Chains A and B, each alone.
Chain A
Amino acid sequence: MEKRESLWEAYLRRGLSRRSFLKGCVTLTSLMGLSTDMFSKVVEAAETKPLPVVIWIHGHECTGCDESFIRSASPLASDLVLTNIALEYDHLLSAACGAPFEAHLDETITKYYGNYILCVEGAVATKESGVHCMSGGHTFLHLLDKAAKGAAAIIAYGSCSAYGGIQAAAPNPTGSAGIEHFVGGKPVVKVPGCPPIPEVMTGVVMHVALFGSVPPLDGDGRPKQFFGNRIHDTCYRRPFFDAGMFAETYDDAGSKAGWCLYKLGCRGPETYNSCGNLRWWQGMSYPIQSGAACIGCSNAHFWDEVPFSARLPQYGKIGDADKIGVALGVMTAAGVGAHAVASIIQRNSRDNLLEEEHDDK
């Protein structure tokens, strides 16, 4: 294996100052959700650890995660791709290269076997042996299997690779699923979201790159520092929820005043993401702040939990569970009423029969 340079060496080669290197490390530390006393460790790792080789593959998806990724501001996506990691292969960025690049992928896998980070975007199409998602003449299922074998760590970017995504919505014609069960039993770091927050995407890969280990994960395999809280519990509109001040429609006074969007079907109370604290586009805003109810895009099965505009599923003209419940309650009450009448009639006829028998004796 050839000598790979560290982040500090990359800074030196590009003629950047020590000061800007340290500034970069400070940004990285806070971005990875680490406390400030970890700063010296981050610097140490950045000075000594060789830049990690990254293979970035795309499956059944819209590549919207990359659209998000390239808008990362700290670190800049360009810095990350060109300086902080050694991105050897990326479907999307090198789509024009064609066959020679496919050979490069095989080369990279053999050369850095057991040492590279595998980033996966997109679901696995499983039906009909996976023919619904193919690149370079092979199914994505095949590519994932091949690339996962030698990976030191696997990161699933986006709700597609974490849980199956939009194409897994009922009736799921392509049999799309998350990558978890198609990587030979290796642990997968899930970074769900549709798309994930750009800084979360870069933060997770930098954590793996600098420390050579995956960040602390929750039970579902999501990094705790980004997915450890509900949006609801970090939402700046929470006081309106607690006080009972809700927007009823998107054009009422409550909506204009920035009240809680719970009644409009907001999924904040069920959604684990950093939208509430990290926010999007360098902390500028996030869906709820812009006045739209959260749809829970980082949750498994969010695509089937419709409508997004209500707290309960609707059943056509009948309505939601509460209407059905009231109807069933009334029907049960009517049923027991009818049963009571029938029971009394039966008892009377039984008693009359007994009395007749008694009289006969």
Chain B
Amino acid sequence: MKSVREVKRKEYYIFSPFLRIFHWIMAAMIVVLFITGLLITKPMNVSTTEPFFTITSMDLVRDIHFTAAFILCASLILRIYGFIVNKGDRLFPRVWEGHFYEETVDVALHYMLLKPHHASFLRNPLARMSYAALYAFLAIEILTGFAMYFMTNPSGVGGKLFGWVNTVLGSEMMSHYVHHYVAWFIILFAIGHIYMVIRAEFMEGESEVSSMFSGKKILAHTPKDAKELE
């Protein structure tokens, strides 16, 4: 392969700052929430003779967990605002459009190594499906999380808004279980997501990784969904 080549490429601006900032806040907060969450389920033991404040105290770990959760929720609101004002941002895949399914199958066949390549997309339909799943996981985490958090005062506004989640799941302990299990699903998603992004960069070399910093995709092929930006 030559070191210097002349290639004609087109630049597509798709990700607004709202989306990119949300993405990186979410990535950081998921790490923080996951680690502190595991520590809340199985806390470290502080061996002293009297209860006093230490850096590993359960109180601090829980406060970090709650703060991270509120930051994530706040940035999610910004993300939704970005979706409203910017055409490039998208919350969910357009599953109501028929070609979505053919394209998903096409991409899936390539990922199963049955086809040598797949069509070029600004928004890979299979990846978009996985993001929809992630948002579903986040929604479950937010609902069960607040259902546990606000129940220190079941009669309060928060308790009234989220208390029903415990009733729907059967008991508050079930909310703990669901919250904990879905957290693991998010980590499994993250492993797959990081791999697929780096893989796309290696296989197609079309700025998949840098797009989440710059907001731009720089493509040699004309993507099938290029019209959606016009």
List residues of chain A with CB under 8 Å of any chain B CB.
218-220, 224, 228, 230, 233, 239-246, 248, 254, 257, 262-263, 267, 270, 272, 296, 299-302, 305, 311-313, 321-322, 324-325, 328-329, 332-333, 336, 339-340, 342-344, 346-347, 349-350, 353
State whether B59 touches A270 (Cβ < 8 A): no
Known: A219-B154, A243-B53, A346-B116. A301 touches B174 (CB 8 A): yes
Q: State the CA gap A342–B111 with chains docked (Å).
A: 10
Provide the main secondary structure of the chain B interface.
helix
State whether A332 touches B191 (Cβ < 8 A): yes
From A243, A246, A340, B59 is in contact (CB under 8 Å) with: A243
Q: State the Cβ distance, A352 to closest chain B Cβ, in Å.
A: 11
Which B residues, 42 to 75, have Cβ-Cβ distances below 8 Å to chain A? 42-49, 51-54, 56-59, 61
Q: Which residue of A lies closest to B180 (CB)?
A: A321
Enumerate 9 A-B pairs (CB-CB under 8 Å) in ascending A order.
A219-B154, A219-B160, A239-B51, A246-B45, A311-B176, A313-B177, A322-B38, A332-B188, A336-B192
Which residues in B have their C-beta under 8 angstroms from that of A233? 152
Stretch at the interface among B76-84, B126-134, B162-170, B220-228: B162-170
Question: CB-CB contacts of B111-153 with A at 8 A, as 1s and 0s?
Answer: 1010011000000000000000000000000000000000110
Which residues in A have their C-beta under 8 angstroms from that of B42? 263, 311, 322
Not counting A300-B170, A321-B181, A321-B184, a sample of 8 additional A-B residue pairs whose C-beta atoms are within 8 angstroms of each other reads: A244-B45, A244-B59, A262-B43, A296-B171, A301-B170, A305-B173, A329-B184, A340-B199
Q: State the Cβ distance, B195 to closest chain A Cβ, in Å.
A: 4
State whether A242 touches B58 (Cβ < 8 A): yes
Q: State the Cβ distance, B118 to closest chain A Cβ, in Å.
A: 12
State whether B188 touches A228 (Cβ < 8 A): no
State whether B59 touches A242 (Cβ < 8 A): yes
Q: State the Cβ distance, B184 to closest chain A Cβ, in Å.
A: 4
List residues of chain B with CB under 8 Å of any chain A CB.
38, 41-49, 51-54, 56-59, 61, 111, 113, 116-117, 151-152, 154-155, 160, 163-164, 167, 170-174, 176-177, 180-181, 184, 187-188, 191-192, 195, 199, 202-203
Known: A224-B155, A299-B173, A302-B171. A336 touches B191 (CB 8 A): yes
State whether B164 touches A230 (Cβ < 8 A): no
Q: State the CA gap A263–B42 with chains docked (Å).
A: 7
Which residues in B have their C-beta under 8 angstroms from that of A263? 42-43, 45
Q: Which residue of A lies closest to B172 (CB)?
A: A270
Q: State the CA gap A242–B58 with chains docked (Å).
A: 5
From B46, B164, B192, A245 is in contact (CB under 8 Å) with: B46
Q: State the CA gap A344–B201 with chains docked (Å).
A: 12
State whether B192 touches A332 (Cβ < 8 A): yes
Known: A228-B154, A321-B181, A340-B195. A243 touches B52 (CB 8 A): yes
Which residues in B have their C-beta under 8 angstroms from that of A301? 170-171, 173-174
Q: State the CA gap A37–B205 with chains docked (Å).
A: 76
Q: State the CA gap A227–B41 with chains docked (Å).
A: 25
State whether A219 touches B184 (Cβ < 8 A): no
State whether A329 touches B53 (Cβ < 8 A): no
Known: A248-B45, A311-B42, A350-B116. A296 touches B173 (CB 8 A): yes
Q: State the CA gap A302–B170 with chains docked (Å).
A: 10
